[in-house]
Amino acid sequence: MEKKRKVGRIIGYSFLALLIILVAGGAYAYNRLQPQNHFKTVPVVTGDSSNKKSNTDKNTQVQNSVFNVLLIGSDERKGENIGHSDSMIIIHVDLNKKEYHAMSIPRDTRVHLDDYGYTKLTSVQYIKQATEGPQKGVEAAIKAITELTGVTINYYVETNYQGLQGMVDAIGGIDMNVPFDVKLTHPWYKENKDKVVNAGVHAVDGKMVTELVHERYSLKNGEYDRQRLQEEALVGIAKKTLDPSNVTKLPNFTKQVPNFLIASNMNTSDMLSLGLAVKDFNPTKQLQYHQVPGEWKTMYDDILKNNNDQLVVDKGQIDQLVSQYFKN
């Protein structure tokens, strides 16, 4: 259905980028970076300030190793400095319980942007980038997501699809379980047009991973099936990077950072410390995915000046979801 096709592209790219950074950081065992010490206090990103990490900063809170990371996948192309936030995932990290919960927020979710009115979430970052610059774009997206979900954002990481391809290639490809036949009807690369990838486990390179997690038009259940593909890609990358035999490839991961990290408030110490925390991460047992509940409606878009399909979030259900899995 058309309304399902309009749900954001590249969901999950950000988490893949973050995972690689964290695994690379796990090679450095500095006592001062031990997670139980490093994450006693974390920043709070409000979208209204620089939110620098400081024990005296009013936007800093004591969390004792429990915090939320917002992952943004942009459609920004190489050489550009503006793009839509096509992918938004909130990762709830509980280092005490070693549990991780992920909530994907569709790009076409209806939100309110100050001074503009109601529009799709994907438009928020683009408009603010175009009028006030890249940082203001990120801050506006964070503010909109915080107001929508009620989740406190402590860290954010923004990347794009090119980073995914580079990272997968840096580790020599992955084994990915494809749960159903996938026809590539809307590929990034022309040579893959209408190619069919049959159900089963496949050895795939970075280019094919980006194609698989991007496809939505040919899938029986649209966006929901695409999320299954993205989850399988995450599992494949996690298994490959966390395999002890691949430790020699870690330097390659760090070289890929400039290719995919567009913006973040995580500094090197944050990444290295979190890398130590996830060195024993088991994605099939410790990571759970959740979908945003809501209803698709044709609504007026105050920015695009037309009626289009938007996801109107069920406030009661999302409050329940957040309360159960995403509270600090």
Provide the token pair at 225.
């099936």
Distances, alpha carbon 43 to alpha carbons 46, 50, 55, 250, 261, in Å: 10, 10, 9, 28, 19
Assign residue 305 a region: left if phi > 0, alpha if psi is -120 to 50, beta otherwise?
left
The range of the structural domain enclosing residue 143 comes to: 2-174+243-325
Q: How far apart are CA 79 and CA 227, in angstroms?
A: 28
106 located within any domain: yes
62 located within any domain: yes
139 located within any domain: yes
Q: Name every residue whose Cβ is closer than 8 Å to that of residue 74 and which is 6 or more positions away in sequence.
A: 83, 84, 85, 86, 87, 125, 158, 159, 160, 262
CATH code for the domain of 17: 3.40.630.190
183 located within any domain: no
Task: State yes or no: pLDDT of 29 exceeds 90.
Answer: no
200 located within any domain: no
Q: What is the mean pLDDT of the chain?
A: 81
Task: State yes or no: pLDDT of 223 exceeds 90.
Answer: no
198 located within any domain: no
- In the DSSP assignment, the letter for residue 233 is H
Q: What is the pLDDT of residues 164-214, one digit of tens each?
A: 888 788 888 999 999 999 999 989 899 999 999 999 999 999 999 989 988
Q: Name every residue whose Cβ is closer than 8 Å to that of residue 257 and which is 6 or more positions away in sequence.
A: 21
Task: State yes or no: pLDDT of 326 exceeds 60.
Answer: yes
Under 8 Å between Cβ of 76 and 159? no
- In the DSSP assignment, the letter for residue 83 is -
182 located within any domain: no
Question: Looking at the 3D structure of the chain, how many domains does it have?
Answer: 1
Rounded average pLDDT over 265-290: 79
Instruction: Compare 294 and 154 and report the one with higher pLDDT.
Output: 154
Q: What is the pLDDT of residues 68-103, one digit of tens each?
A: 999 888 877 767 778 888 778 899 999 988 889 988
- In DSSP notation, 27-53 reads T---GGG-HHHHTTEEE-B-SSS----
Task: State yes or no: pLDDT of 15 exceeds 60.
Answer: no
pTM of the model: 0.80
> What pLDDT is attached to residue 174?
94
220 located within any domain: no
- In DSSP notation, 167-200 reads HHHHTT-EEEEE-S-EE-SS-SSGGGTT-EE-SE
Place of tokens 């026809």: 183
